């Protein structure tokens, strides 16, 4: 039996994916006649083929070649596995506009209500106005803690003391967007009902400073955020006693170890330095729209932005094998300032801390 075969090829730069659809002769002949083309050979334009693929087959609108040709095919062809693999994209960018383009692409594919935008806080949405108390300063102090507890440049004798000082610096400092126009770009996505979550490694004790600086810099995240079942907003993200309850499993929980309390409210998720990929999964599992057969609620695509590569890698690892599109962006806008600090003698932050600490001891502590 002669059947017309529609073969579509999607090129992704490094490789390609074949998707074959065999349709009965009469259907395609009618389709061909409706377009006033010959049924022997129809070659669709690239934009139309891309649109057809994205609407009918759920493929992103990248360059697509579609060709219709007559071929001899068995009357009962064997079943072809046409499973569409979820999108996995990982990129580094200094321009948030690249992120906006990706959100727009997913929005066209799925609708705004099915796209989740997840944004890091420090050195992504906001950066310190000085090095003392910045993300790179904290990383440097943490490294000193791990290498030499008695290092003369340490501001605290242990990690708990470092967190206490960091909290004080958050409270005293102001911050700014790393990129001009960044709050407006995020705000435009929020206005268009893209669900947006700020996912930070900061602990819950630093929430007030985070909310203050986000508001001061005109970020309005709560306008379009994720709703969850935790009424108080403070919760333990997972439990070894109920390993499958909140999006994880016993093996993952064993690797993560004991959980630390987190907090989520007004679209800001404070995860206390824990694995961001798995923390996002536990949050999605608590969504008011999540069910056993819908662990990611209504979302079909996630866009994640962070300045640290380790968090990008962890997000990709956490969702590996899951049937949800994921695009991750390492936002490198602050790299120059971070590199400058890392290569410096650190004398300026040592001096700044000594002056501040001296003032605190003499003027504020009796």
**CATH assignment at residue 119:** 3.40.50.1000
Residue 193 and residue 112 in contact, taking contact as beta carbons nearer than 8 Å: yes
**Cα–Cα distance list, 209 to 24, 122, 175, 242, 356 (Å):** 64, 12, 10, 34, 19
Q: Is residue 190 domain-shared with residue 325, that is, in the same domain? A: yes
Does residue 153 surpass a pLDDT of 60?
A: yes
Q: Is residue 65 domain-shared with residue 179, that is, in the same domain? A: no
Asked if residue 109 belongs to a domain, the reply is yes
What is the pTM assigned to this prediction?
0.76
pLDDT at 233: 79
Q: How far apart are CA 73 and CA 26, in angstroms?
A: 15
Asked if residue 143 belongs to a domain, the reply is no
Q: Is residue 68 domain-shared with residue 92, that is, in the same domain? A: no
pLDDT at 366: 57
Q: Is residue 15 domain-shared with residue 105, that is, in the same domain? A: no
Q: Is residue 102 domain-shared with residue 24, that is, in the same domain? A: no
Among 303, 290, 164, 274, which Cα is nearest to 226's? 290
**Strand locations in 120-166 (E):** 127-128
Residue 224 and residue 190 in contact, taking contact as beta carbons nearer than 8 Å: yes
Asked if residue 179 belongs to a domain, the reply is yes
Asked if residue 355 belongs to a domain, the reply is no
Q: Is residue 240 domain-shared with residue 308, that is, in the same domain? A: yes
Distance of CA 136 to the CA centre of its chain: 21
pLDDT at 229: 86
Give the CA radius of gyration of the chain.
26
Q: Is residue 261 domain-shared with residue 301, that is, in the same domain? A: yes
pLDDT at 224: 76
Q: Is residue 322 domain-shared with residue 217, that is, in the same domain? A: yes
Question: Residue 361's pLDDT band (boundaries 50, 70, 90)?
Answer: confident
pLDDT at 2: 38
Q: Is residue 216 domain-shared with residue 260, that is, in the same domain? A: yes
Asked if residue 318 belongs to a domain, the reply is yes
Does residue 67 surpass a pLDDT of 60?
A: no
In total, how many domains does the chain have? 2
Give the residue numbers spanning the domain of 39: 2-72
Pairing relation of β-strands 268-270 and 195-200? parallel
Asked if residue 135 belongs to a domain, the reply is no
pLDDT at 86: 96
Q: Is residue 7 domain-shared with residue 110, that is, in the same domain? A: no
Asked if residue 99 belongs to a domain, the reply is yes
What is the percent of the chain where pLDDT is above 90?
A: 67
Q: How far apart are CA 64 and CA 85, in angstroms?
A: 16
């Amino acid at each position: 039996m002669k059947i017309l075969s529609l073969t579509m090829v999607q090129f992704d730069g490094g490789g390609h994916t074949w998707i074959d659809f065999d349709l009965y002769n009469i259907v395609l002949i009618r389709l061909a006649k409706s377009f006033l083309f010959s049924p022997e050979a129809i070659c669709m334009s690239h934009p139309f083929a891309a649109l057809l693929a994205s609407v009918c087959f759920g493929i992103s609108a990248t360059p697509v070649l579609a060709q219709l040709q007559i071929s001899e095919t068995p009357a009962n062809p064997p079943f072809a596995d046409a499973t569409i693999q979820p999108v996995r994209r990982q990129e580094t960018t200094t321009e948030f506009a690249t992120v906006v383009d990706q959100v727009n692409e997913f929005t066209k594919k799925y609708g705004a209500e099915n796209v989740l935008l997840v944004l890091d806080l420090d050195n992504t949405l906001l950066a310190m106005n000085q090095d003392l108390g910045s993300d790179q300063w904290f990383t440097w102090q943490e490294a000193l803690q791990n290498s030499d507890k008695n290092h003369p440049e340490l501001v605290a004798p242990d990690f708990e003391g470092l967190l206490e000082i960091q909290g004080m610096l958050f409270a005293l400092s102001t911050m700014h967007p790393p990129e001009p126009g960044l709050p407006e770009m995020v705000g435009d996505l929020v206005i268009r009902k893209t669900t947006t979550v700020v996912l930070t490694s900061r602990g819950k004790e630093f929430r007030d400073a985070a909310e203050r600086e986000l508001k001061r810099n005109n970020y309005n995240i709560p306008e379009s955020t994720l709703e969850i079942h935790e009424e108080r907003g403070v919760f333990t993200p997972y439990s070894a006693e109920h390993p499958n309850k909140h999006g994880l499993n016993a093996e993952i929980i064993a690797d993560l170890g004991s959980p630390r309390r987190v907090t989520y409210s007004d679209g800001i998720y404070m995860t206390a330095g824990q694995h961001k990929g798995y923390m996002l999964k536990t949050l999605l599992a608590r969504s008011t729209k999540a069910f056993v057969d819908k662990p990611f609620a209504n979302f079909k695509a996630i866009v994640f932005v962070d300045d640290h590569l380790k968090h990008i890698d962890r997000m990709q690892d956490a969702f590996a094998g899951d049937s949800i599109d994921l695009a991750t962006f390492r936002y490198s806008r602050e790299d120059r300032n971070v590199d400058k600090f890392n290569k410096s003698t650190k004398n300026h932050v040592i001096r700044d801390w000594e002056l501040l600490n001296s003032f605190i001891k003499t003027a504020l502590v009796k």
